[in-house]
Amino acid sequence: MTRSALSFPAGFLWGAATAAYQIEGAAREGGRGESIWDVFCRVPGAVADAQNGGVACDHYHRTAEDIALMKDLNLAAYRFSISWARCMPDGVTPNPEGIAFYSRLVDQLLDAGITPWVTLYHWDLPQALEDKGGWASRETAERFAAYAALMHEALGDRVRIWTTLNEPWVSAFLGYAAGIHAPGRREPAAALAAVHHLLLGHGLAVRELRRRDPEATLGITLNLTVADPADPDREGDVDAARRVDGQSNRLFLDPIFRGEYPADVLADVAHLGMADVVRPGDLDVISAPVDVLGVNYYHGDAFTTDPEPRPAQPASPLVAADGVRQVPRGLPVTGMGWEVQPEGLRRLLNRLQREYTGPAGIPIYITENGAAFEDVPDAAGFVDDQARLAFFDEHLRALHASLADGVDVRGYFAWSLLDNFEWAFGYHQRFGLVRVDYDTQRRIPKASGLWYSRVAASNALTAMDESA
């Protein structure tokens, strides 16, 4: 059986994404201060094999090489994050040397004909701000707006697209509730305060950037999921899916697009005091209009509250779970153990268009999508990663189907350009289009990277034999 060739709309944007702490290295160079990830990685057992991002892919010193690689791969855009700790080591005071690094990066991208897509925050809060309460403190939201203003002052004459936050769900729930990401806190009430202050920081930054540059393109990137009941006829499972959808999706979408938190989620978490941190006028700030929505999609899941013993695991760190568990459905899984569910992307995009972005007239970009698999290089270091290639192809076909359904999707960023430091997994999980030999820092495009470069160049998917 053959999958048909598919063309994408003219002007569809093809790119790849990275994050500062995962690739830059140079953790103690150029006046950079410590981030929460530098500190978290020193906690025994926090990160696989006590790894850290101190060297990572050494992108700080290999920027020109990496941009040449992007050009060879036909990337039209590069989504990267700025290290707040590099540009404001204490979260407050500008560091000219750190800011200059990103100015050079932007110049080199533009010289190569690659659009810089800037993300201001991808989880690496300056430790000095965490010492004052981190995202559980309102002050951090205010500091974030000042940081956004600083970076716009430095780069705004050349950068036209700004993302405020990457995946605030991860920052809040994995960092402050589950404790498996920096800063490693296990305080559900603090996690909900962090949700609100992250969103408030987003709104304050949007307001500041809009004041400085009314023509800039502003947005936020959310990691969104498709939460299904394991048994749609079982009331407990339907409610389990509601809870996950509420705390993973609607808790972020509703305040941004509707200026309110979902009532059912507020009821679920009422005992944790989230209402106490919301001040009059905050939701007006949070719902300041954006120009684009970035969507990160990796997988969906099925959920149950059925106590009967069967293969299941606790749901992602909900702060009001009531026995919610995730149930495997027999789908293929990636190296992270995540189910491969491309049809979920189509359902998610259609829902977003119907309930959120369509009525607001806001286009969507897929700002991350990808998969980790156990890469096996040959003697020359080349990885023939057909499973990853198929993952990209299947998800791009699902995206194309959503376009046919009328969803306004304007571009796609593969995660990730390079193998990199994968947070708590250290260097054991590889997502890259390009293999990085961490001993030599040699970059070698994988089969998936070469395939993706052809897709980007042709703006189309070629026919594929599913039996191959």
In percent, the amount of the chain with pLDDT more than 70 equals 99
Report, as an integer, the average pLDDT of 382-390: 98
pLDDT of residue 463: 86
pLDDT of residue 466: 59
**Model confidence pTM above 0.85:** yes
Structural domains of the chain, count: 1
Neighbours of 128 (CB within 10 A): 19
User: Please, which pLDDT band fits residue 307 given cuts at 50, 70 and 90?
Assistant: confident
C-alpha to C-alpha distances, 228 to 184, 243, 297, 326, 345, nearest whole angstrom: 29, 11, 15, 10, 13
Q: Over the stretch 231-268, which tens digit does the pLDDT of each residue have?
A: 999 999 999 999 999 999 999 999 999 999 999 999 99
Sequence-distant (6+) residues with CB within 8 A of 387 are: 371, 373
C-alpha to C-alpha distances, 52 to 19, 85, 424, nearest whole angstrom: 14, 16, 9
- Is residue 315 pLDDT above 90, yes or no? no
Report, as an integer, the average pLDDT of 428-436: 98
In percent, the amount of the chain with pLDDT more than 90 equals 94
- Is residue 316 pLDDT above 80, yes or no? no
Report, as an integer, the average pLDDT of 353-358: 98
Domain that holds residue 235: 2-465
Residue 280 sits at φ, ψ, to 5 deg, of -55, 135
For the chain, the C-alpha Rg in angstroms (whole number) is 21
Q: Over the stretch 72-86, which tens digit does the pLDDT of each residue have?
A: 999 999 999 999 999
- Is residue 468 pLDDT above 50, yes or no? no
User: Please, which pLDDT band fits residue 10 given cuts at 50, 70 and 90?
Assistant: very high
Report, as an integer, the average pLDDT of 7-14: 98
Q: Over the stretch 23-50, which tens digit does the pLDDT of each residue have?
A: 999 999 999 999 999 999 999 999 999 9
pLDDT of residue 361: 96
> In terms of Cα–Cα distance, which of 266, 284, 286, 265 is closest to 275?
266
> In terms of Cα–Cα distance, which of 246, 364, 374, 360 is closest to 303?
246
CA distance 317 to 321: 8
> Higher pLDDT residue, 314 or 235?
235
CA distance 200 to 208: 12
User: How is residue 235 written in tokens?
Assistant: 């009331």
Sequence-distant (6+) residues with CB within 8 A of 240 are: 229, 230, 303, 304, 305, 315, 324, 325
Q: Over the stretch 141-177, which tens digit does the pLDDT of each residue have?
A: 999 999 999 999 999 999 999 999 999 999 999 999 9
Q: What is the CATH number of the domain that holds 432?
A: 3.20.20.80
Report, as an integer, the average pLDDT of 4-18: 98
C-alpha to C-alpha distances, 87 to 98, 125, 260, nearest whole angstrom: 5, 11, 33
pLDDT of residue 465: 65
User: How is residue 317 written in tokens?
Assistant: 């760190």
- Is residue 351 pLDDT above 60, yes or no? yes
* Mean pLDDT, rounded, of the chain: 96
CA distance 319 to 229: 19
Report, as an integer, the average pLDDT of 135-143: 98
pLDDT of residue 1: 58
pLDDT of residue 312: 75
The catalytic residue positions are 167, 368
Report, as an integer, the average pLDDT of 117-126: 98
